[in-house]
């Protein structure tokens, strides 16, 4: 399963409904929503109200990436708002197992996110309990940053762990995914490709998503 998840962080927020419908029509698989609190990351973005609005304009699964402190305080509200997939940053969750359980109790699929310098060993005692791992390939907080090259080795190493343990855990990548980087990222073994500026900054969403898909399929070996 290879999925493309446009991040609405780079959408035109004055026309958010139209933007979401446009990427859905262009072939997107998920809608990725970046939630930032101004504490865990230096930026502030979206709350459950916006997720509810997104839910009302699309039938695609909504994937909420929580870049916030105290995520347990907000997971239920995002699930109620319509998030089908919810991920928390390892660095922001003091009781990661509890956060993951809470996401599942709320009826959503659970993901854990690793910052660029957080080792995959941080997943050792949680990986068999989660649905997906999100590898941050930029420092979280902003769209349009350059892909950090050593993320490729990290993805390959994680793919190895998942294969060895015979798990179904999906690997998601987020940050700096574009026409130039996507082939190598796909070859490293990613399942879900988040892209913000490369999709919403392009003139033709359909063309961009199709070209991403072609590049992914050419590399797909997992």
**How far lies 101's CA from each of 24, 60, 95, in Å?**
30, 24, 10
| Using rule CB under 6 A, residue 31 touches ligand DX5 | no
Residue 82 interacting entry, from ligand DX5, Zn ion, none, C-beta within 5 to 8 Å by type:
none
| Using rule CB under 6 A, residue 65 touches ligand DX5 | yes
Helix (H) or strand (E) holding 110: strand 109-114
Min separation Cβ 144 and ligand DX5, Å: 5
Tokens of 89: 């940053």
Given the complex with ligand DX5, which of 71 and 176 has the nearer CB atom? 176
CB count, 10 Å around CB of 149? 11
Closest CA to 174 of 155, 196, 197, 194: 194
| Using rule CB under 5 A, residue 37 touches Zn ion | no
Q: b vs e for 177-194, b when ≥16 Cβ sit within 10 Å of the residue's Cβ?
A: bbeebbebbbbbbbbbbb
Residue 9 interacting entry, from ligand DX5, Zn ion, none, C-beta within 5 to 8 Å by type:
ligand DX5
Active site residue 37: no
Between CA 17 and CA 25, with CA 19 as vertex, the angle to 5 degrees is: 105
Count of positions on this chain that bind ligand DX5 (CB under 6 A): 22
Q: Which of 65, 159, 213, 215 binds Zn ion (CB under 5 A)?
A: 65
- What are the residues facing 44 on neighbouring strands? 37
Which residue's entry shows tokens 């928390």? 88
| Using rule CB under 6 A, residue 66 touches ligand DX5 | no
Task: State how far the Cα of 92 lies from the Cα of 193, in Å rounded to an integer.
Answer: 23
Which member of 29, 37, 174, 191 is catalytic?
174
Stretch that binds Zn ion, among 27-35, 51-59, 72-80, 182-190 (CB under 5 A): 27-35
Which member of 29, 34, 37, 63 is catalytic?
34
- Please give the residue ranges that form the binding site for Zn ion (CB under 5 A): 34, 65, 174
Positions annotated as catalytic residues are 34, 174
User: Rule CB under 6 A: which residues touch ligand DX5?
Assistant: 7, 9-10, 32, 34, 65, 138, 140-145, 174-177, 194-198
């Amino acid at each position: 399963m290879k999925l493309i998840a446009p991040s609405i962080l780079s959408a035109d927020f004055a026309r958010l409904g139209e933007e979401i419908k446009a990427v859905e029509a262009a072939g997107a698989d998920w809608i990725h929503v970046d939630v930032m609190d101004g504490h865990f990351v230096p930026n502030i973005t979206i709350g459950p109200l916006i997720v509810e609005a997104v839910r009302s304009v699309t039938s695609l699964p909504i994937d909420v990436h929580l870049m916030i402190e105290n995520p347990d305080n907000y997971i239920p509200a995002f699930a109620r708002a319509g998030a089908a997939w919810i991920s928390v940053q390892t660095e922001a969750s003091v009781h990661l197992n509890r956060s993951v359980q809470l996401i599942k109790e709320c009826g959503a699929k659970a993901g854990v996110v690793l910052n660029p310098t957080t080792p995959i060993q941080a997943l050792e005692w949680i990986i068999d309990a989660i649905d997906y791992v999100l590898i941050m390939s930029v420092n979280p907080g902003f769209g349009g940053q350059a892909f950090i090259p050593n993320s490729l080795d990290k993805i390959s190493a994680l793919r190895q762990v998942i294969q060895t343990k015979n798990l179904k855990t999906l690997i998601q990548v987020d940050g700096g995914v574009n026409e130039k980087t996507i082939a190598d990222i796909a070859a490293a073994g990613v399942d879900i490709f988040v892209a913000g500026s490369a999709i919403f900054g392009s003139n033709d969403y359909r063309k961009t998503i199709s070209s991403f898909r072609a590049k992914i399929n050419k590399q797909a070996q997992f």
